[in-house]
Amino acid sequence: MRTMRTRKWMYRLPIIAVLLLGLFAYSAAAQMKAKDVLVWRMGEFDQTSREFGHNFDLERETLKPIFTVGQSKNADWPAWQTTWVNGAAGKRPTPYTILFSLPKPPSGVYRLTISVFLVNPSVPDLMIEVNGHKGRFYFDRKISYYPGDDRIDSPIYGGDTLAIDLPAKFFKAKENKLVLTAVEDADNPDTRASLIYDALKLTQCPSRRVQPSAAVKPSVFFRQKENQTYEVTRVTVTVADKLRPGSVDLSRGGKHFRAALAGANDFGQERIDFDVPEFSGQVMANVAIHSSGKTYRSSAKVSPERKWLVYFVPHAHLDIGYTDYQAKVVELQNRNIDKLLDFLPTHPEMRFSLDGSWVAQNYFATRNEAARRRLLKYIHEGEISVPAQYSNLLTGYASLEELIRSLSYAHTLHRTEGVPFDYANITDVPSVTWSYPSVLNAAGIRYFAEATNSDRGPIVLYGKWNEKSPFWREGPDGSKILMANTRQYSQLWFVCELPPDVGNCRQGLPAYLQQFSAPEYKPDAVLMFGSQLENTDARLSEPEFIANWNATYAYPKFILSSFPDYFRYVERKYGSQLAIASGDGGPYWEDGTGSDAKNTAIDRNNQTRAVSAEELSTISRYLNPTLAVPRQLLDRIWINLMLYAEHTWDSWDSVYRPDSQESVGQLATKDEYVAESQQAVRALAQQSLSQIADQIHMPAGSLMVFNSLSWQRSGLVELDLNHDTIVTEYPGKTPVPFEVLSEGPGYRPGNGFQMLFPSGTQGGERRHCACKGTAGSDDRYH
């Protein structure tokens, strides 16, 4: 019996081996057979539209591009496509056509892949027509940080890729026609939308089989009905061939929902929104598509979205120059405050944050007492906020003293008028120096908001600090402030358009909230920084929009707020859970100072001499208490230093038209800041030294060399002398060695001085004598 069994297995082994070899051979053949075949491709799937045409007039009514595969070039295809143009007969769609040939009779399944960028709030749908067969497809934007397009600065910059399966029966041997038309989406039917093409391709998939499918996705939108909160849950049905009208069932957690399936097109997608009672945790969602007597089922695990609070801070960015002459910017900002003061009595819920105490300073200087009182009233009531910083400085260029002095005017308002002094913001500049948190903390500032424009300064963007915000920013001395970084300013405009409306925001807000979707993001609140671009007329449409939005959706809930409102909420609920970050990524836009190198060199000298000049002024008043603070000179020094360190350089068109009147005029004003501060520093130093010298009883004509630093040092002293004059110390009359345009020895104690005076002639030479002392010593009088 054993022999028989062995013989049976000996015969079976070769049979099994043959079967396995056959299976492997079949699998390999099937894989080879299943390999997709490229029919044609337009562009490269490289997240950029650079190979397509960027010089088409998208407003031209006759724009109807036709691309013939094998003949046309990529540049013949417009990079942008919009949903319509305004023609003589009204709005007209702009179909884009692709003509191509198939060398063989069509077979299997064809896949059309379309990759696009979506950079505006409004997102179009795409109608696709293949030889007369029509289908509609939807984009689901995913935000991106890849700089493939110049709109990378947008907080909702992103894109999507459609992979569309098409049956062979839609195609013909030889000539085929594919038409792509961007159309308005049902979520936002009244707004013109656009897309940017990355690449397109058509492949043949001989062995692929397709059938109707459904994807289910809870959205960020919640509605409130009586005492129940519902999460809008979207089901997207995709079909490669026509379905007859039917129904779609959604089941979740024992609850069932049904909606009609229209089946209007020959193929494509259909979206259905269900209001599903809110739930927690991960659950299984089941979808059944009923059509033509058949049922197609699919399922997926889904999790709810967060119920977001959007702390929106109305704000208009300040450029002191760039968009217009500096003096005109002053008045534009003033007019915006005038509008705001007229608007607030009927809209007390409105909030507005100035982009620098410079704005308030100019308003107080150019308006009457009644207007000034009105502004202070609304500041005290919290409708208008004034930040601690004077303007948006290049913090990597400004001196440490300038960073400190940039808080002075706001603190003066705090001390004299009761204006809150609790937050600062820097707008537009893509970097903030490490010392800034320490400066703010030392001044009593707890909160700091930074909105970065990462053009030419991408380290904050690519570090994704917007996704890590808020966090505790630690300075070099270990002190901390609560900070939030946002991807761009004017975020309401980027996300919801201006004037904002519910339709645009319905499409833009989900993309905006993606940056906060990681489990590591702790708060249920986000900061939306600003509404308007730099130096633009105030629109003041925010309260109406937010009322309409909050009446439509329970969440995301918009809250009109100030920066401190947001920070206080986050600190109270999540402060102990937030990360700590230290250091910085280096300066970026500070290279702008190099465009005016001569005056930058003078300004650098002014920065260091300003501190010394003010120290001399302080010493003079210490020696003579009857002297007053030279406030006007000090203000001229520090205001002009700060205005030169402000982040705008030249006019908006200076790169392209450096000789235009505006370019030349704006730069001239910038240079005047340098000349003004230089003259004021010189005047203060000379005046203060004269006051100090007046307290030192020396013969007339004496020379005083003063060390204005707080430590003993040596250095070169240059002065004008007649050719027959020598210098001697006082009172010993010891000659001081010197050469023309050369160095002379001598150390000065901290805050010390040396006096030189003529002592007559010896051998035909005039002598000067010198004496030494310190500013606080009594022997200077002897």
pLDDT in tens, 20-33: 333 333 344 444 45
Question: Within 13 Å and on the Cβ side, how many CA atoms surround 695?
Answer: 22
Query: What is the mean pLDDT of the segment spanning 402-411?
Result: 98
Contacts of 547 (CB under 8 A, 6+ apart): none
- Parallel, antiparallel, or unpaired: how do β-strands 384-385 and 246-252 relate? unpaired
59 and 117 share one domain: yes
Query: What is the mean pLDDT of the segment spanning 93-103?
Result: 96
Name the pTM for this structure: 0.88
| 263 pLDDT tier (thresholds 50, 70, 90) | confident
**Neighbour order of strands in the sheet with 557-560:** 525-529, 309-313, 557-560
Mind giving me the DSSP string for 47-65? S--TTSB----TT-TT---
314 and 372 share one domain: yes
Q: Write down the pLDDT at residue 30.
A: 44
Query: What is the mean pLDDT of the segment spanning 678-700?
Result: 91
> Which is nearest to 360 in space by CA: 349, 347, 374, 346?
374
Whether cis (ω within 30° of 0) applies to the bond prior to 121 is: no
Please give the C-alpha separations between residue 592 and each of 429, 454, 595, 600, 753, in angstroms, as whole numbers.
11, 15, 6, 10, 39
Q: Is the pLDDT of residue 79 over 50?
A: yes
Q: Is the pLDDT of residue 459 over 80?
A: yes
Answer with the one of 186, 205, 224 that is the final residue of a domain.
205
| 67 pLDDT tier (thresholds 50, 70, 90) | very high
162 and 284 share one domain: no
Q: Write down the pLDDT at residue 756.
A: 57
Burial string for 628-653 (b: 16+ CB within 10 Å, else e) reads: eebeebbebbbbbbbbbbbbbbbbbe
Mind giving me the DSSP string for 307-365? --EEEEE-BB---SSSSS-HHHHHHHHHHHHHHHHHHGGG-TT--EE-S-HHHHHHHHH
Q: Are 310 and 348 in contact (CB under 8 A)?
A: no
Cα-Cα-Cα-Cα torsion 716, 720, 721, 726, nearest 10 degrees, comes to -10
665 and 654 share one domain: yes
399 and 439 share one domain: yes
**CA dist., res. 245 & res. 264, Å (int):** 8
388 and 402 share one domain: yes
127 and 21 share one domain: no
56 and 21 share one domain: no
Please give the C-alpha separations between residue 62 and each of 74, 178, 195, 712, in angstroms, as whole numbers.
20, 19, 19, 79
> Which is nearest to 320 in space by CA: 760, 644, 705?
644
- Tokens at 668, concatenated: 């001239």
200 and 219 share one domain: no
Bigger pLDDT: 19 vs 201: 201
Q: Is the pLDDT of residue 98 over 80?
A: yes
**CA dist., res. 466 & res. 461, Å (int):** 7
**CA dist., res. 200 & res. 40, Å (int):** 8
Radius of gyration of the chain (CA): 36
Mean pLDDT, the chain, as a whole number? 89
- In percent, the amount of the chain with pLDDT more than 90 equals 75
pLDDT digits (tens, 9 = 90+) for 215-254: 999 999 999 999 999 999 999 999 999 888 999 999 988 8
Q: Where in the sequence is the domain holding 646, given as residue range(s)?
A: 590-694
Q: Write down the pLDDT at residue 687.
A: 95
| 34 pLDDT tier (thresholds 50, 70, 90) | low
- When mean pLDDT is compared across 233-247, 349-363, 689-703, the lowest value belongs to 689-703
Query: What is the mean pLDDT of the segment spanning 615-639?
Result: 94
Query: What is the mean pLDDT of the segment spanning 285-297?
Result: 92
| 734 pLDDT tier (thresholds 50, 70, 90) | confident
- When mean pLDDT is compared across 403-407, 577-581, 685-689, 764-768, the lowest value belongs to 764-768
Torsion sign across C-alpha atoms 718, 720, 723, 727? negative
68 and 87 share one domain: yes
Bigger pLDDT: 583 vs 709: 583
Q: Write down the pLDDT at residue 122.
A: 96
| 7 pLDDT tier (thresholds 50, 70, 90) | very low
Q: Write down the pLDDT at residue 754.
A: 59
412 and 540 share one domain: yes
The total number of residues written for the chain in this structure: 782
Contacts of 152 (CB under 8 A, 6+ apart): 144, 145, 146, 454, 461
List of E strands, 551-610: 557-560, 580-582
Q: Is the pLDDT of residue 333 over 70?
A: yes
Bigger pLDDT: 730 vs 194: 194
* Overall domain count for the chain: 6
CATH number at residue 267: 2.60.40.10
The terminus-to-terminus CA distance of the chain in angstroms comes to 133
> Which is nearest to 41 in space by CA: 61, 17, 67, 78?
67
Answer with the one of 277, 302, 327 that is the final residue of a domain.
302
Q: Are 73 and 66 in contact (CB under 8 A)?
A: no
CATH number at residue 402: 3.20.110.10
CATH number at residue 671: 1.20.1270
- When mean pLDDT is compared across 88-92, 167-171, 532-536, 766-770, the lowest value belongs to 766-770
Answer with the one of 555, 587, 619 that is the final residue of a domain.
587
Collapsed DSSP state (helix, strand, coil) of residue 743: coil
577 and 599 share one domain: no
